[in-house]
């Protein structure tokens, strides 16, 4: 039968088959088992003979875990209970079938038909779990039951967030089980922080590790009820609008926004593993450290996104700076690809929960340009964290460049001074207060851009030859550097 072979032919490496079912619009038939074991809320279907036979003790264990999951997820956390199935399993208890699943699949939840609430996208469902779950029995049953609760709101929202929250539920129901930690060393928000929060990469591996996202939201707002509020909104908001629903709840209930959440989420991921700072889920000390894009030990220093372009909302990178000697400040210049809304923060990292770090926010304009001077103080390192907060549209792989230099104590405060520039003949001469990234633009009298140069220039006087093919007339030049812009008109003959 189909349900006996889905692990080999369909799910492949997917531990949970639910997202595959949703993304491929599958309708798996209910398995047929020989007998049942009933509890208050569940009917466990299993075989006592044949290739799928299990013991009554195993069926009873599945039932006990399911009942405890109901107690935590429904009775304690307030999630809607799964809708009744109109007696499809013999009565209206929730049905869990113990069957043979292959290919590494541990369980799945199949939505079947519309629930009784006409105001929500709810669906009744059944669960299938493998006949031998071993050490995964607690995480699998609590995980799949979370899917059943999610379907009590909607069967038509982001499967990425369904998986995030199903793994989150594992931790809420059995906080000492910690199966989720094994996901974090693979492709996920810590080892691929540049990926967007919705990333699937052809399998839900990132979605499992994406449990970091709901854990962050819960701790950021200090409210376990946040997840329930998001699912309730998703059920009332017809169609697949998961990010919009998260934003709506943050604005309505917490005076925040998804943009703010994505900005905080970027920096939050730095403080895990050995950098734990008492600001996280206590088990963050057991998590692997976040991937560092690059580390600089000498200055000036420059770089770009390399092999890890930021891929959308929630994507970020980490660039580390140390060994600045006697310098009392570092200049940070940033230029992100045009289009999305960029954010940049610099972490003044001291290390350890007893010696708190500090966060500096760069002012980044609509063109993706930003400048920030950060005092070195007694920091161990400074960490540049660019991130994308444009969540309302699909963004491609995003490029950026940065440039950094030290400012010695004898030079005073790291504050850029006024820029200067003038056109002489067909050459633009300009002075920069320090070496760094500058952009020179030339417009004709109608406002049409006719020439632009963006590059790293030296401190002091620089020059740029204007196009020899330019017609004589009045032009306007613009010089952008260090968060400042100057311009004037010039006659070119």
- Of 13-22, 382-391, 417-426, 465-474, highest mean pLDDT: 382-391
Structural domain including 478 reads 420-492
Averaged pLDDT for residues 66-81: 96
The residue from 411, 430, 448 where one domain ends is 411
39 located within any domain: yes
Beta partners for residue 30, in sequence order: none
Averaged pLDDT for residues 22-38: 92
Smallest Cα–Cα separation from 194: which of 319, 320, 310? 310
Q: Which pLDDT does position 3 carry in this prediction? A: 45
Confidence of residue 374 (pLDDT cuts 50, 70, 90): very high
Asked whether residue 339 falls in the same domain as residue 473, the answer is no
Share of the chain above pLDDT 90, in %: 58
What are the two backbone dihedrals, phi and then psi, of residue 394, each rounded to the nearest 5 degrees?
-75, 130
Q: Which pLDDT does position 292 carry in this prediction? A: 98
Examine the pLDDT at 324 and tell me if it is beyond 80: yes
Q: What is the DSSP string of 78-103?
A: -PPPPPP-TTTTSSSSEEEEEE---T
Q: Which long-range contacts (CB under 8 A, 24 or more apart) does 19-22 make?
A: 19/159, 19/160, 19/162, 19/163, 19/204, 19/207, 20/108, 21/108, 21/109, 21/110, 21/111, 22/111, 22/155, 22/159, 22/162
Examine the pLDDT at 143 and tell me if it is beyond 70: yes
- Of 170-179, 421-430, 471-480, highest mean pLDDT: 170-179
Averaged pLDDT for residues 344-366: 87
Q: Which pLDDT does position 262 carry in this prediction? A: 96
167 located within any domain: yes
Asked whether residue 33 falls in the same domain as residue 164, the answer is yes
The residue from 350, 379, 411 where one domain ends is 411
Examine the pLDDT at 417 and tell me if it is beyond 50: no
Confidence of residue 239 (pLDDT cuts 50, 70, 90): confident
CATH of the domain at 76: 1.10.390
Structural domain total, the chain: 3
Residue 42 · residue 185 · CB < 8 Å? no
Asked whether residue 11 falls in the same domain as residue 85, the answer is yes
Q: Which pLDDT does position 4 carry in this prediction? A: 38
Examine the pLDDT at 2 and tell me if it is beyond 60: no
Q: Which pLDDT does position 412 carry in this prediction? A: 43
Sign of CA dihedral 481, 377, 358, 195: positive
Q: Which pLDDT does position 22 carry in this prediction? A: 85
- The residue written with tokens 């499992």 in the block is 208
375 located within any domain: yes
Asked whether residue 32 falls in the same domain as residue 155, the answer is yes
CATH of the domain at 446: 2.60.40.3080
Asked whether residue 303 falls in the same domain as residue 364, the answer is yes
In terms of DSSP bridges, do strands 94-99 and 42-46 run parallel, antiparallel, or are they unpaired?
parallel
Q: Which pLDDT does position 415 carry in this prediction? A: 41
* C-alpha separations of 111 from 44, 155, 407, 467 in Å: 17, 7, 61, 65
329 located within any domain: yes
Residue 202 · residue 119 · CB < 8 Å? no
Q: Which pLDDT does position 467 carry in this prediction? A: 76
Q: Which pLDDT does position 421 carry in this prediction? A: 82
Averaged pLDDT for residues 300-325: 94
Q: What is the DSSP string of 319-333?
A: EEE---TT-SEEEEE
CATH of the domain at 339: 2.60.120.380
370 located within any domain: yes
Asked whether residue 139 falls in the same domain as residue 78, the answer is yes
18 located within any domain: yes
Asked whether residue 377 falls in the same domain as residue 327, the answer is yes
Asked whether residue 51 falls in the same domain as residue 169, the answer is yes
Asked whether residue 377 falls in the same domain as residue 445, the answer is no
Q: Which pLDDT does position 177 carry in this prediction? A: 93
295 located within any domain: yes
CB within 8 A of 174, min separation 6: which ones?
Answer: 138, 139, 142
8 located within any domain: yes
Asked whether residue 451 falls in the same domain as residue 479, the answer is yes
Examine the pLDDT at 182 and tell me if it is beyond 60: yes
Averaged pLDDT for residues 33-38: 97
pTM of the shown model? 0.81
Examine the pLDDT at 178 and tell me if it is beyond 80: yes
Asked whether residue 159 falls in the same domain as residue 64, the answer is yes
Q: Which pLDDT does position 459 carry in this prediction? A: 83
Averaged pLDDT for residues 136-142: 97
Question: pLDDT tens digits, residue range 248-286?
Answer: 999 999 999 999 999 999 999 999 998 887 666 678 889
Asked whether residue 45 falls in the same domain as residue 146, the answer is yes
The residue from 411, 445, 478 where one domain ends is 411
Examine the pLDDT at 114 and tell me if it is beyond 80: yes
């Amino acid at each position: 039968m189909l349900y006996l072979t889905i692990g080999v032919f369909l799910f492949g490496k997917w531990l949970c088959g639910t997202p595959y079912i949703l993304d491929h619009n599958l309708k798996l038939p209910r398995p047929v088992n020989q007998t049942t074991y009933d509890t208050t809320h569940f009917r466990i279907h299993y075989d006592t003979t044949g290739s799928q036979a299990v013991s009554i003790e195993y069926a009873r264990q599945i039932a006990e875990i399911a009942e405890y999951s109901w107690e935590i997820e429904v009775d304690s956390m307030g999630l809607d209970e799964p809708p009744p199935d109109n007696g499809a399993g013999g009565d209206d208890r929730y049905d869990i079938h113990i069957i043979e699943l292959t290919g590494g699949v541990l369980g799945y939840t199949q939505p079947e038909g519309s629930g009784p609430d006409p105001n929500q996208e709810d669906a009744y469902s059944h669960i299938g779990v493998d006949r031998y779950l071993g050490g995964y029995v607690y995480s699998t049953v609590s995980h799949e039951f979370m899917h059943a609760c999610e379907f009590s709101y909607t069967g038509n929202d982001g499967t990425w967030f369904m998986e995030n929250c199903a793994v989150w539920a594992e931790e809420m129901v059995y906080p000492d089980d910690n199966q989720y930690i094994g996901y974090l060393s693979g492709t996920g928000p810590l080892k691929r922080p540049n990926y967007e929060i919705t990333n699937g990469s052809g399998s839900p591996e990132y979605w499992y590790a994406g449990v970091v996202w709901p854990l962050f939201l819960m701790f950021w707002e200090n409210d376990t009820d946040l997840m329930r509020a998001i699912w309730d909104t998703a059920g009332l908001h017809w169609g697949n609008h998961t990010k919009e629903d998260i934003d709506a709840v943050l604005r309505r209930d917490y005076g925040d926004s998804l943009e703010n959440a994505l900005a905080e989420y970027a920096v939050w991921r730095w403080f895990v593993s050995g950098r734990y700072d008492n600001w996280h889920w206590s088990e963050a000390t057991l998590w692997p450290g976040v991937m560092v894009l690059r580390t600089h030990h000498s200055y000036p220093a420059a770089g770009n996104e390399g092999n890890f372009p930021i891929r959308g909302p929630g994507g970020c990178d980490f660039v580390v700076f140390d060994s600045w000697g006697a310098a009392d400040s570092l200049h940070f210049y940033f230029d992100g690809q045009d289009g999305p809304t960029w954010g940049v923060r610099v972490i003044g990292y001291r290390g350890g929960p007893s010696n708190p770090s500090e966060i500096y926010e760069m002012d980044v304009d609509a063109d993706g340009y930003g400048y920030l001077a950060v005092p070195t103080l007694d920091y161990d390192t400074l960490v540049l964290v660019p991130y994308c907060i444009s969540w309302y549209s699909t963004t491609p792989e995003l490029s950026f460049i940065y440039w950094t230099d030290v400012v010695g104590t004898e030079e005073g405060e790291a504050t850029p001074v006024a820029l200067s520039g003038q056109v002489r003949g067909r050459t633009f001469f300009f002075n920069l207060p320090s070496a760094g990234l500058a952009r020179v633009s030339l417009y004709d009298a109608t406002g049409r851009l006719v020439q632009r140069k963006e590059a790293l220039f030296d401190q002091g006087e620089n020059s740029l030859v204007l196009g020899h093919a330019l017609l004589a007339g009045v032009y306007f030049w613009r010089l952008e550097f260090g968060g400042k812009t100057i311009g004037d008109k010039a006659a070119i003959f």
